[in-house]
Amino acid sequence: MKNNNWPKILMSLVAALFILSLFSGIAVAQTPKESYDKTKEQYQELKTKYDAAKQKYLDSKIKFIAAKDKFKIGRTNLGRDELINKTRDYLIKSIDYVINHLEVLKNKIDTDKEFIPFNAVDNINTHITELNEIKAEVEGATTPTKLADAARQLDDLMIKMNLEGRYYASLIVNHKIDQFIVNADNASMRMSTLIQKLEGQGKDVTRLKEYASTFDSLVSDAKTTHQSEVTLFETHSGFDNNGFVTSKDDGRSFLQQATNSQKDTIATLKSAEKQFREFFKEAKKIIPGKVVVEKGTGKIEASGTGIARIRGNVTVTLTVSGNATLIVSSNADVTVDETGTNETQSNGNIKYMGFSSATISGNDIKVEISGDNITLTAQGTGSAVLIGKGTYKSEKGFTASGEWTKKVD
């Protein structure tokens, strides 16, 4: 290659690499941060490799930028050779970084694969193979032209992978919206039933009816906007039936429309959720007595002083900073700190005292905690009763929160 051509090629390569850096940044932003129920050790191992690859990528990027700046100041053969070497290393470390990100993403997607109508994990494996092929080309490249070609291939593949990753995420969001709407319909039935019951008791349910009516109207609006999302995903413009990009421009347009529509739907459903919370806040003023979280699947968090009764297929974790008594059914698995003592009661239940923390789990178990300054979290399928003074937050399709009610003698 003639000496007067390679500076232009190298500068073109630099531009391509900075485009790659942009999309790598997007990939980093999408790295899963939540805890995984499945294969936590595997996830941690992948995350450790990812962090190491990220650091190597950042180090190589710094060296690449330094070599680029040096080459700009004095365009010598020595500067060119250094820039080629640093560029090659930067490309290789970038590819390793992206591959490790995809391995983490694959682990996450595997937990939600039933919501995606194609094998996204296989798609990611295909891209990992493509990345390794580009990496082999980079390792064997000795000229700016070959490095620039590899960088352009990598840039094009990164854009496609980014679009496909957004497509996977949108599909999962669509499923979550589906679930939320089903829960909203169930909530509407519960609200209607409660209104009829209280009205039959001669209670003033005017405000409850207003909250319920607004709730139903918002859910209806959400269903309308969500239907447009369903239509968009049936066409999935820019993507084939296996989830691969067929047109980058069409894919961007489709995802932008889908994302905007999903945001509108979610915002409407959040407004409906607010009406739901206000409905039950108002209902608490009408219904005296204890707080009852009806049987369902979800989570409840509570803190206060009094009595908490939980039953079902659940896991309960709790801490106390005052005097407390824990009574559990004999079929429960219980772990308490070393300060605790226990005794078996005549009915087979086990009573624990003198502890500061405990974990209880099992199927069809009964748990009763009474005492001062209790903080607990219960997750699973079951029901809960809270009596005393404190606060709680439950998640069962919709989120409800409030205060414990005074003990009724």
Q: Where along the chain do its domains lie? A: 6-173, 290-403
Q: What's the chain's Rg over C-alpha atoms?
A: 29
Please, which residues bridge with residue 400 across strands? Answer: 394
Identify the DSSP state of 405.
B
Compute the distance between CA of residue 143 and CA of residue 121 in angstroms, rounded to an integer. 35
**C-beta of residue 144 within 8 angstroms of C-beta of residue 13:** yes
Choose among 262, 273, 302: nearest CA to 384: 302
DSSP H stretches of helix in 201-341: 206-235, 248-286
**C-beta of residue 369 within 8 angstroms of C-beta of residue 318:** yes
322 Cβ contact partners less than 8 Å away, ≥ 6 residues apart: 305, 371, 372, 373
Q: How many CA atoms lie within 13 A of 342 on its CB side?
A: 17
Compute the distance between CA of residue 56 and CA of residue 96 in angstroms, rounded to an integer. 9
CB atoms within 10 A of CB 204: 9
What is the pLDDT tens value at each position of the chain, 409 positions in all? 344 444 444 444 444 444 344 333 333 333 333 443 445 666 677 777 778 877 887 777 777 777 777 767 666 665 677 878 888 888 898 899 889 888 888 877 877 788 899 999 999 999 999 999 999 999 998 888 888 888 889 889 989 998 998 999 899 899 989 989 988 998 899 899 889 988 888 889 999 999 999 999 999 999 999 999 999 999 999 999 999 999 999 999 999 999 999 999 999 999 999 999 899 888 877 765 555 555 677 788 888 888 889 999 999 999 888 778 999 999 999 988 867 788 888 888 999 888 888 999 999 999 999 888 899 999 888 888 888 778 888 775 444 555 565 443 3
Query: Which pLDDT score is estimated for 122?
Result: 93
Compute the distance between CA of residue 314 and CA of residue 361 in angstroms, rounded to an integer. 6
Query: Which pLDDT score is estimated for 49?
Result: 77
- 2 backbone dihedrals φ, ψ, rounded to 5°: -70, 150
**C-beta of residue 88 within 8 angstroms of C-beta of residue 138:** yes
Exposed / middle / buried, residue 140 (Cβ in 10 Å: 0-12, 13-18, 19+):
exposed
Identify the DSSP state of 176.
H
Compute the distance between CA of residue 123 and CA of residue 163 in angstroms, rounded to an integer. 13
Three-class DSSP category at 312: strand
Tokens representing residue 131 in the block: 């990345």
196 Cβ contact partners less than 8 Å away, ≥ 6 residues apart: none
276 Cβ contact partners less than 8 Å away, ≥ 6 residues apart: 187, 191, 211, 215, 398, 400
Compute the distance between CA of residue 380 and CA of residue 376 in angstroms, rounded to an integer. 14
Q: How many CA atoms lie within 13 A of 377 on its CB side?
A: 6
One-letter amino acid at 164 equals E
Choose among 25, 37, 36, 48: nearest CA to 100: 48
Compute the distance between CA of residue 357 and CA of residue 347 in angstroms, rounded to an integer. 24
270 Cβ contact partners less than 8 Å away, ≥ 6 residues apart: none
